Structures are given as C-alpha cells and as structure tokens.
Structure 1
C-alpha cells in the first residue's frame, strides 16, 4: 500500500449525479480534504484554482461533457456600484455587520431554516437539521468567519454592533488575496432590501478596506437564472483555460 505524506492532498472523484442547474446534464466533482496546519494555504491555492469549500472539503466541477460552471471573482479595488446598487446600500444604512468566529447559534439556524423553506424548499439543503447547520459553520480548518447583519441599536456607534433582530448572515473565508463567500442567507420577508446584493456589496467594501483585491463568488452558470446575479458585479474575472481573465459581458 502506498503511503502519501500528510502535506500532499489526495483527490477523489464523485459518481455522476443529476445537475441542479442544467436539465438533462449530470455533474461530477473532484474533491479533497482541507485538514492540518496547511489547510488555509491549501484553501487559498485551490480557491484560486477554481475550487470551492464546503466544511472541510474543497471541490470543483469535473463534468465529462459540460464546462458551464465558471469560477467568478470581483475586482474589489476597481469596483464601482451601479445606481441600483447605490440604492441598495442606501436602503440598508441602518444595518451593521458584526464579524464573529465561526460558531453556530439557534438564532442563525432559525433564520437559515426560514430562508430555505421560502427559497430552496426542493434544494439539496432543504432537509438540513440544526446539527447539519452546525457542521456547515464550524467544521472548518481555515480562517472562517460569520458576519451577522442586524439593525443598528442606540449604542451601535460605540460598540460597533447592531442590537436588532438577526436578518442576514454570511459564512466567509478570509484568504490571502480576498474574501470567499461560502454561503449567505437572509430573511425572505425583506425582499425590498435586496439583502443578497447588499451582502456582496458589503464584502467588496470589507475586502477593499483590508487591502484584499478579490471577492470570490463561487460558480456562475451561463443561462441559469439562479446564478445570473453574479455577473452584475463588475469588473470581475472568470477562470478559464488560460487562467483568470477579465469578463467582457458582450462576449457572452
């Protein structure tokens, strides 16, 4: 039996399963485990190479007949919000994002459950229990944070924290070259706030303030309505056969 050194990751391939984005297609993924004292460095390298993280696993599509999934990252330092995005920022000036260690709470799960039941009732995460949620948040060997968004309280400018009800959450990896938005969710009853857009805009501002050039959004699938929002945040780069290249909307 061959023994591999602990610092060398082993990669595995999943069996084909129905694609959640394109009817009639089947997806496969290549994955490896992110463990040990080099997990953060490995996560950085793999994310830059088109992988995503889920708990302590990094994965990337490896479909046999389709290349529709494209890794996307926003160029934070060059980004300028559109008029509608500026309106979203203005509509949410009463919110504060409090960055915390990756620890789950009952309040988070209640909001997460409400979000899934309203937006993704038939999705792959629809049957997640409170224990599943806790694993999603805390099963990480990299620098992961939870950002909780709440309305400002009377002492928010002193404490830097909101005091209102929890209305949105982002699970985020802090990398050497950017922020990677692993998963985010929000109160589905507050559609008028466009909280999904707001959290991405907030991450762009956080990356810029920290001197980090990128915000990683995961995969964009051309033609998928679920993914169409990702290409609104320009300028951005897409990972292709020649590496990361600037996205030109008219070319798609």
Structure 2
C-alpha cells in the first residue's frame, strides 16, 4: 500500500445501521482536502475507504466489524458458467454504451428502481436531491456504463475512475427486466470495462455476509476482502 492513513479525520455520530438494524453505525470521515483527488482516493480505497457523494468515509462501528471492503482483480476474474450465460444473453439482447455525462433518462430510471425494488430501505422515497448528493462527485471523473434495449435505457452503473482501478458506486435498472439479473450483469460490464482500460481492480464496496441483500458480491471470484487491514484472497 502506498497511502498513509490521513491525519485529518472526523468521527460521525452513531446512527442505526441501514444493513443491520440491530447495530449502531459510525463513520470515519476524511477531512483533509488534499485527499480529494483521484490518485489519493485510490490510495484510500486500498485502506478500506469509499465515497458517498463528495465525501470519503469508512465504517468505524463501536460493536460491529461486519463491513469488509471487497475488490475484484479484473484481469484474474473468471466468470462462472451461470455468469457467462447471463452476460452473453444480456450482451446479445442489449447494447452497452459508455457515457461521461449524466443523461435526462437517468433519474426516472433511478426513481422507478428505488420505488419498486427498495421501498423498504433508507433511500425510499427517492428524490432528485438524494440522487444527486449520493451518486455524483465534483472532484472525481465518473463513468456511466449504460445498458440499452433498442432506444430504451434499462440499466446504469455509476462508476468512479482512478488511475489503476474502477469503483462501483451504484447500479440501478428497470425492474421490468429483472429476469436478466441486471445487477450481476452490470458488475461484469464494469469488470469487462476495467480490463479494456488495463485497470487492476474493480472495487465493489462493502460485503456484509450477514446481510442477504449484499451476498451477491461474494459470487464474483477470485476476489479480495479487506480484513484486519490486510487484503485477503477469496477463491471460493
């Protein structure tokens, strides 16, 4: 690791965890302005940090360590037979495009996704301010990997771009196409995009084994988890 732990760090108040409601969540928040560049942020990703909007943070919960950063070594990824089948079907039926600017179609798709797929979560009901403050960032280049069914936008993977890696921020898709497993497909689209750009890693955020909604990430192998401040290979 090339990045040192920043000296200017804040600690948030405790609040109820949105993934494990019985737990209290607390965050370390980066306060040093010099950290807010793609290269410095990439070093912080290696230390288990992540971004939400313009803010860089890492869980620092008083009684829980369930959140483990997860990344895919893009050039070593081997899709399972099921993943290959889903990816091939989606690529045959739809088209992938890359955009570096937000489109008007994004927010209606996001709103539909949250309303129909996550009406029991902390992001419901959706609104534009929440959407913008969560997904977008003023100091980092963002790539939007899109999936289109002819002229209809059906999925967007919001992806941060750093010198040697990509970071998957959030994917939203049309629930009418749920049978295509678009959440999993868009992770493979990000991994494929990373290999084309010769990036080393795709960061997938935090894996929480005890949270059912998060378990899908563990299906992508080989992967690495950040456990006790060390990246550990996961092959099964």
Q: How does 1:126-205 map to 2 (within 5 A)?
A: 126-151=124-149, 163-205=150-192
The residue number in structure 2 matching 1:113 is: 111
Structure 1 position 233, deviation (Å): 0.3
2:80 aligned to which of 70, 79, 82: 82
- What runs of 5+ residues in structure 1 fail to find an aligned partner? 1-7, 152-162
The residue number in structure 2 matching 1:216 is: 203
Structure 1 position 90, deviation (Å): 1.9
CA distance in 2, matches of 1:36, 1:68: 29
Name the count of aligned residue pairs: 230
Query: Which consecutive aligned stretches of 4+ in structure 1 deviate over 4 angstroms post-superposition?
Result: 33-38
Computing the radius of gyration over CA atoms, which structure comes out larger, 1 or 2? Answer: 1
Does the 8 A contact of 2:48 with 2:69 survive in 1? Answer: yes
CA distance in 2, matches of 1:36, 1:165: 40
Summarize deviations over 1:195-242 as a string: whole Å, max 9, x none: 011101111111111111111100001121111100100000011225
Distance 1:202 1:12, change over 3 A: same
CA distance in 1, matches of 2:109, 2:134: 15
Distance 1:109 1:64, change over 3 A: same
Does the 8 A contact of 2:42 with 2:165 survive in 1? Answer: no
TM-score (norm: length of structure 1): 0.84
Does the 8 A contact of 1:104 with 1:134 survive in 2? Answer: no
1:125 aligned to which of 119, 123, 137: 123
- What runs of 5+ residues in structure 2 fail to find an aligned partner? 1-5
Structure 1 position 193, deviation (Å): 0.7
TM-score (norm: length of structure 2): 0.90
The residue number in structure 1 matching 2:3 is: none
Distance 1:14 1:174, change over 3 A: same
Between 140-149 and 232-241, report the one with greater CA deviation. Answer: 140-149
CA distance in 2, matches of 1:166, 1:179: 22
Summarize deviations over 1:30-58 as a string: whole Å, max 9, x none: 11258569521221111111111111101
